[in-house]
Amino acid sequence: MTLTATASPTGLVFTLDPSVGPALHEGILDLWTDVSNAGGAVGFVPPVVRDDIRPQLVKQLAAVADGGSRLVVGRDADGRVVATAFLTLNTHRLMTHWLWAYTVMVHPALQGRGAGRALMAAVADAARTLDGIEAIRLNCRGGLGLERFYESCGYTEVGRVPAAIRVAPDDDRDDITLLLPLN
């Protein structure tokens, strides 16, 4: 199902489940590399190159292709991929009423300009279009203040595992779980 592209106050246009071809694949790969190298908490620690990230992107796009995940993409006025989030459906029969948001990222050049808030609004709008989805859960890495950002978008911290993420020797971070009810 395609979400009608919505223009955000930032001028970005968000789409649910865009057609994934080589240009989109490369655009997400560029974004993920830029976000990672800027210190973004999206599964890697800088420095990284595109080939470090490519296997994980292929895995996530395969989940989109098989219907287990949905993809929200934000593009700027020039059509460049500048924001993404993967929405992963829950397969446990007692938990299909909520989904996970993964690999939530905004290009570093746009941070602090409302693009992250616009992405999170687009993620919530996309989730509301999916049958039976009542909430979004996401995890974030502690130590960066990300939980405050997500809380400002309506999420509530519902769990924290101390020192669950090791970004470097002697640098362990909390794994923080947040929830956004959609009703």
Please tell me the distance from the alpha carbon of residue 72 to that of residue 165, in angstroms, as a whole number: 26
Task: With beta carbons less than 8 A apart as the criterion, state whether 74 and 65 touch.
Answer: no
Q: What is the mean pLDDT of residues 83-93?
A: 97
Q: Mind listing the pLDDT tens digit for each residue in 108-144?
A: 999 999 999 999 999 999 999 999 999 999 999 999 9
Cite the DSSP H helix spans in 22-137: 22-37, 50-65, 115-128
pLDDT band at 4 (very low <50, low <70, confident <90, very high): very low
Per-residue pLDDT for 25 more than 90? yes
* 69: enclosing H helix or E strand: strand 69-75
Strands, E assignment, 76-155: 81-89, 98-106, 135-141
Per-residue pLDDT for 11 more than 60? yes
* 152: enclosing H helix or E strand: helix 146-152
Task: Collapse the DSSP code of 173 into the 3-class scheme (helix H, G, I; strand E, B; otherwise coil) and give the result.
Answer: strand
Per-residue pLDDT for 12 more than 60? yes
pLDDT at residue 6 in the model = 60
114-119-124-127 Cα dihedral, nearest 10 degrees: 170
**99 to each of 56, 59, 159, 183, how far by Cα in Å?**
19, 18, 16, 14
Q: Mind listing the pLDDT tens digit for each residue in 138-173?
A: 999 999 999 999 999 999 999 999 999 999 999 999
pLDDT at residue 84 in the model = 98
pLDDT at residue 10 in the model = 81
Q: Mind listing the pLDDT tens digit for each residue in 35-71?
A: 999 999 999 999 999 999 999 999 999 999 999 999 9
Closest CA to 83 of 110, 58, 62, 61: 110
pLDDT band at 1 (very low <50, low <70, confident <90, very high): very low
Closest CA to 101 of 67, 72, 143, 141: 72
Closest CA to 68 of 42, 91, 44: 91
Mean pLDDT, rounded, of the chain: 95
- For the chain, list the domains and their CATH numbers: 3-134 (3.40.630.30)
Per-residue buried b or exposed e for 38-50, using 16+ beta carbons within 10 Å of the residue's own CB: eebbbbbeeebee
